[in-house]
Every structure is written in C-alpha cells, then in structure tokens.
Structure 1
Amino acid sequence: MLRTLRPGRLLLLGALCLSGCVRLGPDFQAPGEAWVEHWNSPAIEQASQQRPQPDTLQWWQVFADPILDRLIAEADAHNPDLKIAGLRVMEARAQLGIAQSGRYPQLQQVSADSLYLDRNQSGGRNPQDSHSWQHSAGFDIGWELDFWGRFSRAIESADAAYFAAQANHEDVLVLLRAQMADSYFALRTAEARLRIARDNARLQKRSYEITERLFNSGESAELDLQQAKTQYLSTLSSIPDFESQVLRTRNALSVLIGRPPGSLPELAEKEGLIPLIDRAALQDVPANLLLRRPDIRAAELQVAAQSALIGVAEADLYPSLSLLGSIVWSTTTLSGAPDTLDLVGGPSLRWDVFDHGRIKNNVRVQDARLQQLIVAYQDGVRQAAREADDAASGLIKSLERERILHEAALAAERSLTLANAQYREGYSDFQRVLDAQRALFAQQDAYLVNRSNAVSNLIALYKALGGGWYSEEPLVDPASRQQMQQRTDWGELLDEPSRPAADASPLVHKVSSDE
C-alpha cells in the first residue's frame, strides 16, 4: 500500500539525495608545462647511450661496485631521514582517515546522568521534605550533510597530501642514494689523492736527502738544498689535509647508513679506486624522466591538495544543513513520577550571514596559496631540466678533460725521469728536477680530481632525472613499528600501503573521494 509523503519528509529526502552532489571550488587541473612534452637536451643525448641494464631505478649499479651496493642497501634500512619520511607517510595516512570520517555523523554522543534531589518545603499547610534520585540516559546524533562538498573536498585534499607524502619519501630515497654514491666516491678520491701525495712525498724526500748529502760534501749549493726541502715539506703538509678528508667523509658515510662515526672495515677493499666512466645509461627520454621525478610529482600533488581546499573554504559561504536527533530516557525514585522516553529529531539550518569578509578572504587566501604552488611547480620543472642539462654538460667536459689530463700526467712522469737523468749526468741544474716533481704531483692530482668530477656529474645526472626512488624496504622499519604499536592502537594503518608504479601519472593512483 502506497503512502503519501508529507512535505517535511519530502524535503528531507530531497536534501539527502542532493547531499554530496554539489562540490564547490575548482576541480584539479594538472599544472603541466607544455614545453616539457617536447623538451630534449642535446647534452644529455651526447652524455648518454642506450644500455639494457642497469636502468635508472638502480643506476648506481653502473659502477659495478659491490661495496657501494651493500652500503646503499644498509642506508635504505637504517638512514634516519628515510625513516622520518616513511613515518610522515603514516601520518598523512592517519590524516586521510580523519578527513574520511566526515562522511559519517559528526556528533555521536552517549550521555548518562544521576542526580540527587533534596527538596525542603516549609510553611504553608503541608510542609514536607522529599528526597529522590533522578536518572537519565540519552543518545544524541548530528549529521551535517555534505551539501556543498565540504567533506568530499577535504577528503580529496587529504588524499592528495597522502600521495604527496609518498612522493616525498621517494624523493628522500633519490637524494639518499645520490648522497651515498657521492660520499663514497669522494672518500675514494680522498684516498687516491692521499696515496699520490705520499708517493710524491717519498720521491721528493729522496731528492732532499741527496741534495743534503751533496751540500754537506760541498758538491752542491745551499740553494738546491733549501729548494728541495721546501718542495718536500710543502707536499708533506698536504697529507694531513687529505687524511682529514678521508676521516670526515668516512664519518659522513657512517651516519648516512645509520652507524655511529668510526671505521668502516668493509671499505678496506678497493681503497682509492675511482671508476673510469664513459657515458650514462638511460632507457627513456629526459622529458619523461623529469615528470617522474618524485619531487615534481610531490609538487603536483600538493597543487591538487590545495586546489581542493578552495572548495572547503567556499562551503562556508553557504548554509549548512544538518540532521539532528536525540533519544532521552529518564526515571526518578520519587513516588508517583512516571518514567519518560523522548524522541526528538529534525533538520537544522546554520548560515553565517554577516561574516564581514572573513570567509571571502579565507577563500582568497586559499586561492593565493594555490597559485603559489602552481608557480613553484612550474619553477621546479624548469630547475629540474637545468640540473639535468648542467650535469650532462659537466659530464661531457669532464670526459674531454680526462683524456687530456691522462696524457699530461704521463708526460709529467716522463719529464721527471728525463730531468733526473740529465741532472745526474750534469746536463741540467737541480731546478729542472724540482719543476718536474712539482708538475708531476700537480698533474696526477688534477687527473684524479677530474675523474672524481666525472663521477659526481654522472651521479648528479641520475639524481636530476629522478633515478633511484624505488626501494623494497618497508616504509616503517620493524623496530619503529613495534614501538608505535606498543604505545598506540594503529589498527591496520601501519600495514604497507600501495605505491605508484614507476611509469604512471602522479594522480592515476589517487583514491577517489567517492570510494
């Protein structure tokens, strides 16, 4: 049997149907740069070559150094910055849960009261005292309907912020892997320069001892002695500086992998070995790699999160419609007083009519913040392209200098051999020997520094293209997970969330607010 709906019920049904259908504020539009789709760097093309392996996810394998591989794996498991970034993902996940609770009634309150009444009545015809207890229990519910999309926009913002936290975690991985490789090869460079300094110091010490014997025997002038001594002591003075560089860099590596500063026994192997590279190994065009950089994806997701906040602010300009209801049961020990059960329910309308510009200006604040993030995103893309192009150019020039400096170092070594022979045979003075020793040390050191620069530029290129952001390690390490679970009921939030694929658009994996 059909029943006719009353006007009040019809209004309520209409409000429920319209709830969540209107979403104020702009829908997110990716702040892409048109030039990126067609951008290519001649320097990157020249500095790279196609290779099947390794790809940019594990670019450090191009050095074929198992020690570096082990150090990076240890850093993935124990680096404190990476741990903090993983915990921020969990924080953003909890914030998303808070926003999603707006889909349900905001007020769900159970109350219970017990009151003792002591009434003294004096005067009149029938003075009397009464003592009683009054008990009551109630349940109140209030549900603000998502009429203007306030809560759905808040969920959209928190959702984007959650994925932005994941992208920031991946960005920390990129920076960590690059810093680990850079510090590792800086240590190897310092070790190699220290070895060269010690070798040249031993060579110059022999020359100094020879000139000292010749001077004592009257066969050489004091000038030769003092010049040889000066050069030897000058080279000897560089050794403590190189030793200090080795210690500082080793300590930096220890902290990066989560150890206290100190010796790293595994570094004894391959001491002072700097790889000789030729090209970078890339499997994709630079434009695609730029857009997949974790910091670029994080910047885009931050734009999405802020865009949704404009709709949250605009919802305050319009009335809010809520459904209120209460169930109250009360009883008293006073004789003759009945027990009561009250059922109350109905819609409630609230509207801040006179805001004196507060709400409108808040909308403007949110819009200005959105525009700032859009500009920051666009600038971030340009900076990423600049970093990649600069690193590729630096790599090309370092490779060009490598061949020249290698020949110069060989020529300096040959010059020293000839200068020593001519000095012993009396065809030249000792100054030629000193000049040749000085040139040999300078050329050998310059060659090592340039090889180190080539490695640093290669690392910078992979970092600029966002390589090395993926890890098999959990976002929260087991020790931290155990501590957090002992303190707080985390439910399933500490379980590993899904991660975006490497070749996906930043917002493909964004959870819909309608799920």
Structure 2
Amino acid sequence: MSCLTGSRRLLLASVACLGGCTTVGPDFRPQHESWPEHWSSPAFEQATTSRTQPDASQWWQVFADPSLERLIDEADANNTDLKVAGLRVLEARAQLGIAMSGRYPQVQQIGVDAAYAKTHNHNEPTGSVPGSWQYGAGFNLGWELDFWGRFKRAIESADAAYFASQANREAVLVLVHAQVADTYYTMRTAEARLRLARENADLQKRSFEITERLFKSGESDELDFQQAKTQYLSTLSSIPDFESQITLARHALAVLIGRPPGPLPELDEQSDKQGFIPLVNRAVLQDVPANLLLRRPDVRAAEFHMAAQSALIGVAKADLYPSVTLLGTLAWSASTRAGSPSTLTVAAGPSVIWNVFDHGRIVNNVRVQDARLQQLEVGYQGTVREAARQADDAATSLISALQRDSILRDAETSARRSLTLANTVYREGYSDFQRVLDAQRALSAEQDAYVVNRANAVGSLIALYKAVGGGWHTDQPLIDPATREQMKQRTDWGDLFDDIESPSASAHSPASPAR
C-alpha cells in the first residue's frame, strides 16, 4: 500500500511540474513584407468596382447565365479534384488526432500468459511427478512528459497542416470555378465564330455562284471565278475546326462536372445563350486589393505550411534535451502447484533518456527544419508577388479588351458598309470583282476579331476574379454523403466527418492555430 501511495505522489508531482515546462523552438509569426498591405495599381483600380452583390465568392453571377450557374453547382458536387481535396482535409484531421494522442500515455500494454510446467528428478519415474499450471497478467504504462514541448509543437504542426488542407481545398474551388467558366465561354466563343463562318460562307457562296455563271457564259474571265472559289472554300474549311472546338469544350466541361465525355443537352435548352458572349466592364469586389491578395486560398495555405514547418523546428530541438518518462508496472502471477503463493508486483518510477552522443545528428536535423522553413518563407513571398502580377495582368488585359471592343464594333460596321458598296459598284460595272473579294475578306476578319476580343474580355475578367481568390464559396459538404457511407462501411470514423465541417481555415490565423 505504501508503494502505491509513493507512486501516486511521484505521478502527481511530475504532472504538477508540467506547468513550468519549457516549449523549445520558435513561436511562429508571419513575416509579411510591407508592400502587400498597400498594394494596388491603376489598372486594377480601373478594372474593378465596389458593390455588395454579387461578391467575389460567387463572381460568376455577374454573367447572369443560368446554364453557367448550373454547371458550377454540378462541378461543386461531382468534380474529382474537389472530392480529392475534401478527402485530404479528412486525412489531415486524422493526422491531427494522431498528434494529439501524444498528450496521453504512449505505452499502454496488457499481457496475459499461461503455461503448463512439469519437473522431475532423474532418479524418479516421470509419471510420478505431477505438473502444474502457471498464470500471469501484467499491465505496463509509459508516459513521456512533455517537458520541452515536443508534443505541443507536433500538435501545432498538425493543426496548421489541417487548416492548410482546408485552404488548399478552397484554392481548388477557385481553380475549378474559373476552369468551368473559362471552358464554358470558350465553347460559346466557338459557337459565335461558327455562326459567323457559316454566314460568311453563305455570302461568299453566292458570289462564287455568280462568278461561275459569268465565267461559263463568257462574260467574265476565269480569275474572278477562281478567286471567289478560293475564298469560299477557305471559309468553308474553318467550319469543321469550330465544330471540333465546340465538341472538345463540351467534353472538357463534362469532365469538370464529373461526367464522362459526351453530350450536354442542358446547354442547348437556352438557345438565346448559344454563341452569346457577355461584356462585363468591371469586376465586382468587396474589399481592397491588398486584403484580397493576402486572403487568397493558396496564399493562406502557404502561410499555414510555414506555421506547420516552424513547429517542426521545436519538435527537432526537443531531441537535444533529455526525455523524462513515467513508467509503471502492475503484475500478478499464480500457480496451481500446492503451496505456491500468488504474487502481486507494483513498480513505478521515472526514466530519463538523453541521446548525448547523437548531438551532431540532432543539431543538423534542426538546421534541416530551419532551412525548410526559410524555403517556405521565400516561396510565400513569391506566391504573394505572383498573385499581384496575375491580378495586374488580368486587369490590364481586361481594360485593353474593353477599349478595343468599341473600335472593333465600328470597324465591323464599316466593313459591312464597304461590302455593300463594293457589290453595288461591281454590279454597275465601275470596278472589278477584286474589290468585292477584299470587302468580303475584311468583313469576315473584323467580325471574327470582334468576337475573339469579346472572348478575351470575358477570359480576362475570369482571370481577374481568380487572381484575387474569388470563387471559394460552395454549399456542398467536404465529403459527399455517398462517399461518407462507403468509408463508414470500411472504417469507424467516429465524429471526424462532423469535425471537418466546422468553420473553415479562413476563420483562423496561422499565428494562432485553433486548438
């Protein structure tokens, strides 16, 4: 009894001293450069406006296109990359659970054994000596006290990695939404160019038929006929290419929304949207550009990765110091041999392990972890600069496309008028057919340039929203119900599925991870 009392006192004293333990390693503090806090650019300010709705989290609503919104909703539910990103959040949460187990005894062993023994003297017959059963049971406990914060730092690292995985999923959302919208308007652009190609082919076909008739009747030479034929066939040859672009874009959309490549009949329901390319002259934002850049999911993920690596320095430094472990053993043994007593053994005490001869290896491991942190810090700054460049480039491209829009529209109107005049003077015999061909070629080129520029404006707007991290919102759970059920049939997941649906990483700062 006195042994148990002494062990209990030793355990209580050891636990009490934990309050004064030291946590080695650096406490993470984000090393932000000063320029992102005030960053902006004339192009960015000119290409954006501040309104409340729709905001950058669901920026695709600025296009007011129900087909696009349905595609994005389906991508949120079924996109493969999003599903994998959600599962990685679940994996990181389980890894955090592993790290948190360091708070509890690391060694917990229960052993039970039984053996039959028979001994005899060589002078006596074997059968005359009775055998006996021997029984034993024991319980071993080992608890390494976190004097130097090894387990605390490991939990910090896993905690930051968990929130980094959530930020990475939001980054995948940003990318998928931009890809869906970009591919959708690539398809609409190809539809518009196909319509123009068919219209111009019909127009040039009439000219070709006229020159063919005049040539066969001897009223015109062969040159007009061959030139008209060449231009008509050239335009006609572009039609299969545009049809192929439409099909390929539809296949890409099907994969993005989690379907096998194939037709998308719902896109044909709104005939008014086929070949329609909207012109949105501003990106609607709700915050200053500096805040938007620093809240980009990939930027936040990079910061969480720095926090995780910073904590690993403390884990490595803890190896420089002795580890103190409380050990306890409770053992019972008994035998069926007559007169043999049962025994109960209780032992408890501390164990100190210090790898004094591994100093060089441990120090160099600390250096390795510190070098990795520095790499992440440099990479973080590069990520922020790249984000600013992407935003500025997209804004510049959007402004350029908007400026060209009115010019190309006027050029198309002028080219159409030129073709009308060229046809008139040709019919009246005041010019040759070459001017008609030139006017047709100019009209076709200006119409196509106008459509392509509209597509560039839409693409630049999408790129601008993507550059500021817009599009991270979704109403879909991280793990869809079907996947949850499939995984629960294999493994006991406890409450982890519910845990990962708690507030996302965007609500936490890497400098003070959630506990």
Whether TM-score is above 0.5 comes out as yes
Residue 194 of structure 2: aligned partner? 194
Residue 208 of structure 2: aligned partner? 208
Question: Does 2:502 match 1:498?
Answer: yes
**Contact 1:117/1:132, CA 8 A, preserved across alignment:** yes
Residue 481 of structure 1: aligned partner? 484
Question: Does 2:302 match 1:303?
Answer: no
Deviations 1:317-353 (A, max 9, x none): 1110000001111111122111111111111111111
What 5-or-longer segments of structure 1 have no aligned partner? Answer: none
Distance 1:124 1:131, change over 3 A: closer
**Contact 1:174/1:468, CA 8 A, preserved across alignment:** yes
Question: Does 2:24 match 1:24?
Answer: yes
**Contact 1:121/1:127, CA 8 A, preserved across alignment:** no
Opposite residue 461 of structure 1, the aligned amino acid is L
Partner SS, residue 19 of structure 1 = helix
Distance 1:117 1:505, change over 3 A: closer
Opposite residue 221 of structure 1, the aligned amino acid is D
Opposite residue 448 of structure 2, the aligned amino acid is D
**Contact 2:280/2:458, CA 8 A, preserved across alignment:** yes
Question: Does 2:280 match 1:280?
Answer: no
Residue 114 of structure 1: aligned partner? 114
Distance 1:272 1:79, change over 3 A: same
Partner SS, residue 354 of structure 1 = helix
Opposite residue 502 of structure 2, the aligned amino acid is S
**Contact 2:157/2:312, CA 8 A, preserved across alignment:** yes
Instruction: Map residues 324-343 of structure 1 onto 2, 5 A cutoff.
Output: 324-343=327-346
Opposite residue 15 of structure 2, the aligned amino acid is L
Question: Does 2:162 match 1:142?
Answer: no
Opposite residue 18 of structure 2, the aligned amino acid is S
Partner SS, residue 153 of structure 1 = helix
What is the Cα deviation at residue 356 of structure 1? 5.6
Deviations 1:112-144 (A, max 9, x none): 111121323203899963411111111111000
Opposite residue 59 of structure 2, the aligned amino acid is W
Residue 442 of structure 1: aligned partner? 445
Residue 178 of structure 1: aligned partner? 178
Deviations 1:26-63 (A, max 9, x none): 00011212111111121111111232311111111111
Deviations 1:221-264 (A, max 9, x none): 11111111111111111111111100000000001011111111
Partners of 1:292 and 1:248 in 2: how far apart? 34
What is the Cα deviation at residue 471 of structure 1? 1.3
What is the Cα deviation at residue 370 of structure 1? 0.5
Partners of 1:453 and 1:275 in 2: how far apart? 11
Opposite residue 359 of structure 1, the aligned amino acid is I
**Contact 2:144/2:324, CA 8 A, preserved across alignment:** yes
Residue 265 of structure 2: aligned partner? 265
Deviations 1:187-231 (A, max 9, x none): 100110111111111111111111111111011111111111111
What is the Cα deviation at residue 9 of structure 1? 8.1
Q: 1:452 aligns with which of 452, 455, 458?
A: 455
Partner SS, residue 317 of structure 1 = coil
What is the Cα deviation at residue 498 of structure 1? 1.7
**Contact 1:36/1:287, CA 8 A, preserved across alignment:** yes
**Contact 2:7/2:348, CA 8 A, preserved across alignment:** no
Partners of 2:234 and 2:127 in 1: how far apart? 113
Partners of 1:67 and 1:370 in 2: how far apart? 45
What is the Cα deviation at residue 14 of structure 1? 4.8
Partners of 1:408 and 1:375 in 2: how far apart? 49
**Contact 1:116/1:131, CA 8 A, preserved across alignment:** yes
Which deviates more, 475-484 or 331-340? 331-340
Instruction: Map residues 457-476 of structure 1 onto 2, 5 A cutoff.
Output: 457-476=460-479
What is the Cα deviation at residue 390 of structure 1? 0.5
Aligned pair count reads 507
Opposite residue 498 of structure 1, the aligned amino acid is S
What 5-or-longer segments of structure 2 have no aligned partner? Answer: none
Say what the alpha-carbon RMSD is for the aligned residues. 2.0
Residue 81 of structure 1: aligned partner? 81
**Contact 2:254/2:264, CA 8 A, preserved across alignment:** yes
Question: Does 2:416 match 1:417?
Answer: no
Partners of 1:11 and 1:138 in 2: how far apart? 21
Partners of 1:38 and 1:193 in 2: how far apart? 42
Deviations 1:373-421 (A, max 9, x none): 1111111000000000000000000101111111111111111111111
Residue 364 of structure 2: aligned partner? 361
Opposite residue 289 of structure 2, the aligned amino acid is P
Partners of 2:187 and 2:33 in 1: how far apart? 39
Deviations 1:143-167 (A, max 9, x none): 0000100000000000000000000
Opposite residue 53 of structure 2, the aligned amino acid is Q
Partners of 1:201 and 1:36 in 2: how far apart? 52
- Percent pairwise identity: 67
Question: Does 2:390 match 1:391?
Answer: no
Distance 1:44 1:120, change over 3 A: same
**Contact 2:215/2:222, CA 8 A, preserved across alignment:** yes
Q: 2:316 aligns with which of 313, 326, 335?
A: 313
Partner SS, residue 443 of structure 1 = helix
**Contact 1:19/1:148, CA 8 A, preserved across alignment:** no
Partners of 2:233 and 2:60 in 1: how far apart? 39
Which deviates more, 493-502 or 233-242? 493-502
Partners of 1:133 and 1:7 in 2: how far apart? 34
Residue 166 of structure 2: aligned partner? 166
Partners of 1:249 and 1:126 in 2: how far apart? 89
